Amino acid sequence: MNTHLGDQKRLAKNTVMLYIRMILIMLVSLYTTRVVLNVLGETDYGIYNIVGSVVVSMIFIQHSLMSATQRFLSYEMGLKDQGNVSVVFSSSLNLHLKFILIILFLLETVGLWFLNTILDIPSDRLFAANIVYQFSILTFCLNMIRIPYNAIIISYENMNIYAAVSIVEAILKLSIVIALKYLYSDKLIAYGILVFVVTLMINALYIGYCRRKYQVDTQTNFKGDKEVIKKLRGFLGWNLLGGLTGVATNEGPNYFMNYFLGVTVNAAMGIAKQVSGAVYSFATSFQNAFNPQIVKAYAAKDNEYLYDLINKTSLLSFYLLFLFAFPIINSADFIFDLWLVDVPQYTIVFCVLIILSQFVATLSSPLWMVAHATGDIKVYQIVMSFLSLLIIPVSYAVLVLHYPPYFILIFQIFLNIAVFIYRLFFARAKIGLSIRSFFRTVIFKCIYLSSIIIPIPLVLSRYAVSFWQNCLVIMTSFVISAIVFYFVGLDKETKQVINTFVRNRISSLRK
């Protein structure tokens, strides 16, 4: 008898909810990017991305706090007596408020200086850039306040509300972009203000829901618990190193491109990241359904279930990413020409290379959650930071030597492979994960299935000329992928859980 049948049903339900969420968000995001680029123009769009990246340079704190909060909440829930969730929540909220003050100070001093003296922004748009910068800071702080509330929703695996609010947020952002067309004021400034307003509304929804649904767990004691705060700080300290490294590796090359090549290349990178980020979200959002159970399984010392979760998360994440990534890679020229009025130089090659890099990252993401579940991340973060930071000198060398900027992203693929290998050995040392079993169950299977899927759509794309022919190629890529993954890629147990869930949903709709 499967003792984890209830967990698997919940995983199936959460996966479907998150998948529906991502389909809608991706469609809205792609259309939103097209309209924003068209309304703002390449220069203002590039300015918005590079100004936003100054604020985003602090996002490592946000991500570190999110992962630390979610880890400790999930760990408490995984204990037999479910620990003391409210104490962890209050303690994390205490830390978040302190970090908001630190971030405000840094962004209003060092960040402001960097914006006005280092970045290459046209002088006639500097005032608008500063206004957008201030509203970007406010938006960032609101997102920081939201983190403990998001974390408790995810830890309780209540993904339906998470999915619903995310869809509302995407629709609101689409609405402000459409409204932007009809505004006669400075559109760049108006866009920054409207994004802040949407964030304020979404915060109110999340906080209001958590206060009502999890009234006991979200009782606020701003002082928190000293021992819990100490544990959070210890975990967070090394996690911040990883987060800071992540920002450096993501934004460092962007700044170098701005310095050597100007804002047009930043616009190309911004569009490429928007598309690849939307596609990658199918995998990462799906992993949100599994991550709490990975931590809970570790806390409960249920190793067999833990190994099964890791393998399934990697495998299914690859499937979900491939479903949407392969059609985009295979028909990139057609999709971008159809989507954008003018496609900035390097946009397509940037997007394809980022997606290829994400395939490697997707396979190793569950191993990252294993490292966080153990709580012993000192050595892990040091090694990871060293590997990741290699992109900085390489990026500078590529641009100084006048090589095309996409060489930076090619090197990033090899770095992701090195990170993946290290994570595998870390998981083997900490929880006894079999590397041989992982390769047999996950890696070789992904290679085998990909080799079955790719040939037919690849050949068809070479002969597609008209609009409908290209659409047929995209549909063929998606359908073949879905059929192969379902009938060949899934084991009998996973199929049964999915089939049961789908039948139950259909039955409930008929009533």
| DSSP assignment of 16-72 | HHHHHHHHHHHHHHHHHHHHHHHHHHHHHHHHHHHHHHHHHTTHHHHHHHHHHHHHH
Residue in 236, 208, 80, 97 with CA at minimum distance from that of residue 149: 208
User: Per mean pLDDT, which of 33-47, 63-77, 150-164, 463-477 is the most reliable?
Assistant: 463-477
Question: How far apart (Å, rounded) are the C-alpha atoms in residues 73 and 94?
Answer: 15
> What pLDDT, in 10s, does the model give residues 43-95?
777 777 777 767 766 666 777 777 778 778 777 777 656 557 778 888 888 88
Question: How far apart (Å, rounded) are the C-alpha atoms in residues 240 and 254?
Answer: 21
Q: What is the mean pLDDT of the chain?
A: 81
Question: How far apart (Å, rounded) are the C-alpha atoms in residues 399 and 392?
Answer: 11
Residue in the block written with tokens 């709709």: 509
Residue in the block written with tokens 């939103």: 32
Of 29-33, 70-74, 270-274, 400-404, the range with the lowest mean pLDDT is 29-33
> What pLDDT, in 10s, does the model give residues 473-501?
999 999 999 999 888 888 877 777 667 65
Residue 88 CA to its chain's centroid (Å) = 24
Q: What residues contact residue 225 under an 8 Å CB cut-off, 6+ apart?
A: 87, 90, 91
Residue in 150, 137, 141 with CA at minimum distance from that of residue 207: 150
> What pLDDT, in 10s, does the model give residues 186-239?
888 888 888 899 989 998 998 888 888 887 666 666 666 677 777 777 777 777
CA 371, 372, 378: angle at the middle one, nearest 5?
A: 70
Which tokens sit at 233? 């700080």
Rg for the chain, CA atoms, rounded:
23
> What pLDDT, in 10s, does the model give residues 423-461?
999 999 988 889 999 999 999 999 999 999 999 999 998
- pLDDT bucket at 508, cuts 50 / 70 / 90: low
Q: What residues contact residue 172 under an 8 Å CB cut-off, 6+ apart?
A: 198, 201, 202
DSSP 3: T
Query: How much is the pLDDT for 301?
Result: 81
Question: How far apart (Å, rounded) are the C-alpha atoms in residues 51 and 121?
Answer: 9
CA 362, 364, 366: angle at the middle one, nearest 5?
A: 90
What's the CA dihedral at 290, 161, 279, 417 to 10 degrees?
A: -30
Which tokens sit at 2? 């499967």
> What are the phi and psi torsion angles at 240 (to 5°)?
-65, -35
